[in-house]
Structure 1
Amino acid sequence: MATLKLSDDFYEPTCSLVAVHCPLEAYRLAYFLNLHLQIRLRRIAGRASSECDVLSEYYEWENQMEETVWALIVNATRTQALSAGNDLFPSDEFTVTNYLIPEMKKVDYFLKIENGEGYDTEKQIVQKINEIPRVTTAYEVDVNQLKSKHNLIFL
């Protein structure tokens, strides 16, 4: 019987990705991005946090005039879990951290822009994000160089 395998390169990303290092909460960063970039990010209600949901906070704006989709995604999600199998200390809790892009653990947020070629250049977007107070740094990420670029498919 023949076995069929999918190639790892079947997903060709058509988006821009900006990494943002910022100590602000996601809702505050979304507010400042809306203010500085003249966009309208809103929290998606269907993406409520659960125990193992990496997308606990997800903000999105679909610009139908220019056919672009902007998404602000939290990279790291921390959840509390109980230790299992040890009856000596059954109530031990520990924190589990899940990353959207595990190879970029120090990044706090990602701004994903789909079909954004006609909006602004990525350098102008990064420059405007770096002007936001309390943003440490922002820079472009080459999606093709990411090992876990497949995590961005369904966002």
Structure 2
Amino acid sequence: MALHKLQVDDFYDDSYKLIALHCNLEDYRLAYLLNKTLGLQLSRKTEDLDFKYLESSYSLFEWKNHSEYVTWNLVSNICKREENSLASTGTLFQNNQKVIRTFNLISEYKTVNFFIKISEEIQNINEKVILNTLQSIPQIITSYSVNPLKLKSKNHLIF
């Protein structure tokens, strides 16, 4: 009797496009500009994307376009948290200093502020047109396409 082994990775074939955005805007302002410029209807999800037991959380906006079978997601890549610094014991004075720690959703792209994830069932989205439209927004410094298959932390983009 022959044994058959199935590879679990073969079943996960989610096709999506990933666009990196560099900008200094707040997440809600960027979502507004994307809605206005690209004709989207992004809205903030009730819960943020949390990792490592609430150590870091990332804002998440989503719009499901049911007529074109496309789901748009805008997710922040940078999370900054204020924490107490570790102080050595036995000092004369109490020194409670705050330290700001920075976490990244996709650690390979530490300078990227936001990612746009476009999940589509039918391949009808022209990525070059979207990139050209994003470049026309003056508040966005730059935008470019990222190959999600080459990311080490691509599992963070499953939501």
Does residue 92 of structure 2 align to residue 91 of structure 1?
A: no
Shift of 1:150: 1.2
Choose from 67, 71, 74 the match for 1:72: 74
Superposition map of 1:3-22 within 5 A: 11-22=12-23
- Please say which structure displays the higher CA radius of gyration: 2
Residue 40 of structure 1 pairs with residue 41 of structure 2:
yes
Root mean square deviation of aligned Cα? 2.5
Matched residue, 2:55: 52
AA of the residue aligned to 2:132: Q
User: Using a 3 Å threshold, how does the CA distance of structure 1 residues 93 and 11 change in structure 2: closer, same or farther?
Assistant: farther
Greater displacement, 107-116 / 40-49: 40-49
Letter in 2 for 1:72: L
Distance 2:98 2:46 in 1: 28
Cα distance in 1 for partners of 2:104, 2:125 equals 28
Structure 2 residues without counterparts, runs of 5 or longer = 1-6
Q: 1:125 aligns with which of 113, 127, 130?
A: 130
Q: Work out the CA distance in 2 between the residues paired with 1:125 and 1:116.
A: 18
Distance in 1 (alpha carbons) for counterparts of 2:119 and 2:49: 23
1:53 Cα offset (Å): 2.9
Find 2:65's aligned residue among 63, 84, 87.
Answer: 63
Structure with a larger share of its residues in strand: 2
Unaligned runs of 5+ in 1: 1-5
Matching residue's letter, 1:78: K
- Matched-pair contact (CA < 8 Å) for 1:13–1:144: no
The size of the alignment, in residue pairs, is: 148
Taking structure 1 as the reference length, the TM-score comes to: 0.84
TM-score calculated relative to the size of structure 2 = 0.82
Cα offset for 1:51?
A: 5.4
Structure 2 CA distance for aligned equivalents of residues 76 and 131 of structure 1:
24
Identical counterparts, % of pairs:
34
Give every structure 1 segment of 4 or more consecutive aligned residues whose post-TM-superposition deviation is greater than 4 Å: 6-11, 48-51, 116-119
